[in-house]
Structure 1
Amino acid sequence: MQLTYVYDAYCGRSYGSARTLAALSARHPRLPVEVVSGGPFTGARRVPVREFGQVQGADARITELTGVPFGEAYERLIADGSCVMDSAAAARADFRRARELGVDGYPTLLAVDGGGRTTVLATGHATARRLEAGLAALHSPR
């Protein structure tokens, strides 16, 4: 089995989930992790951040849930509102893998078994406890 972590460089939830994923990986050092860059901010969604409206409120909630702070320079950039988030430019990757996996929410953590069967462990914020429970359920007899 491996974990597949689908994230986006501009996604606040992806940023906030980094510590949780690091903690999970530390507890399972032999469990491989594939990191796939998704692409929520491409095409018609490649617009100035002010057009999303909820970013500052969402970031505050992410900090509340995860304890991960957003820096002052980032806060100024978001408050200015003119920054255009462009997932393709940030990732320079082919987003086909994320689409093949059916991922449209970020971040997403998947467990992929040796036969290629995929189980969603989390989309968006998840605690380490929730991820551990998901992994344990996959290993328990059915």
Structure 2
Amino acid sequence: MNQKELSLIYVWDAYCGWCYGFSKSLQVFHENHPELPMTILSGGLFIGHKKLPIASYPHIPEINKRISQLTAAEFGTPYQMLLEEGTYTMDSEAAAKGFSALRFFAPERAYYLASSMQHAFYYKGKSLSDPATYQEIAAANNIDPEAVLVRFEDKVSTEDAHTDFAKVQQLGIQSYPTLLLQKGDEFIVLGGGIMTPEKIEGRLASIIS
């Protein structure tokens, strides 16, 4: 199998704590494999009837403790206050729209933009429904904040978000994070959860060989 025929698909959701925990492992693996192009798709974890105030998910604080223990991910004080207050609504469609708007202007930096979004929420307690959050991320990444705002508010970003959700459904992925290796027409689960970069490397080596 020619390396050029291999690529990665990363399925995530901005409001997925396990994705936040997995992000460091993924970054190391991604940077070690510039030859593997990576497409990032938003999964749509909290849409429709699941789009509820954070207090409707009382298991989140306990899950966050486990994520911290297993991945060393840090949850910031502003986020903890958001969690305790309980009225903040996690809206994965709005987050997917924001990611779409950022990704449009810097597709080659999609992973870092996704990571910046999770840092904004889980560390700084920023809303991923607020256009200002994307303007801040854009400015920090040398992207025109006003252009991102216009894109975010355009219906094209909603369509883009729904396209991502549909692709994830077609792939049959129901848990996040999931890192897939695309090998021709085949999609193979490569990593996710609490996997270390070394474990992902081992899995890649076994698939390629």
TM-score interval, normalised by the smaller of the two chains: over 0.9
Structure 2 letter corresponding to 1:98: V
Match of 1:27 in 2: 32
Q: 2:185 and 2:51 mapped to 1: Cα distance? A: 32
Note the residue ranges of structure 2 that are not aligned, 5 or more in a row.
1-5, 98-160
* Aligned equivalent of 2:121: none
Q: Find 2:54's aligned residue among 49, 52, 68.
A: 49
Runs of 4+ in 1 over 4 A off after TM superposition: none
- Could you tell me which of 188, 193, 209 is aligned with 1:124? 193
8 Å CA contact 2:43–2:168 kept in 1: the answer is yes
Question: Is the partner of 2:189 in helix, strand or coil?
Answer: strand
Work out the number of aligned pairs and report it.
139
Corresponding letter in the other structure for 2:193: G
**How far apart in 2 are the matches of 1:131 and 1:107?**
13
Per-residue CA distance 1:46-68 (angstroms, 9 max, x = gap): 11111111111111111111111
RMSD, aligned α-carbons:
1.1
Asked if the contact 2:22/2:192 (under 8 Å) is kept, the reply is no
Quick check: 89-98 or 122-131, which moved more? 122-131
Alignment of 1:1-142 (within 5 A): 1-92=6-97, 93-94=161-162, 95-113=165-183, 115-140=184-209
Cα shift readout 1:15-48 (whole Å, capped 9, x = no counterpart): 1111111100121121111111101101111111
Kept after mapping to 2: 8 A contact 1:105/1:124: no
What is the CA deviation profile of residues 57-87 of structure 1, one whole-angstrom value per residue up to 9, with x for unaligned ones?
1111111111110111111111111111110
Displacement of 1:122 in angstroms is 2.6
Secondary structure of the residue aligned to 1:41 is coil
Offset, 1:119: 0.5
- Please list the CA deviations of residues 118-142 of structure 1 after superposition, one character each: whole Å capped at 9, or x if unmatched: 00123422221221111011111xx
Q: Could you tell me the percent identity over the aligned residues?
A: 39
Which structure has the greater CA radius of gyration? 2
- CA–CA distance in structure 2, aligned partners of residues 6 and 41 of structure 1: 14
**Aligned mates of 2:50, 2:20 — CA distance in 1:** 19
Write the distance in 2 (CA, Å) between the matches of 1:132 and 1:54: 32
Give TM-score scaled by structure 2 length: 0.64
Higher helix share: 2
Instruction: Tell me how far apart the structure 1 counterparts of residues 18 and 168 of structure 2 sit (CA, whole Å).
Output: 17
TM-score (norm: length of structure 1): 0.93
Contact 2:190 2:203 in 1 (8 A): yes
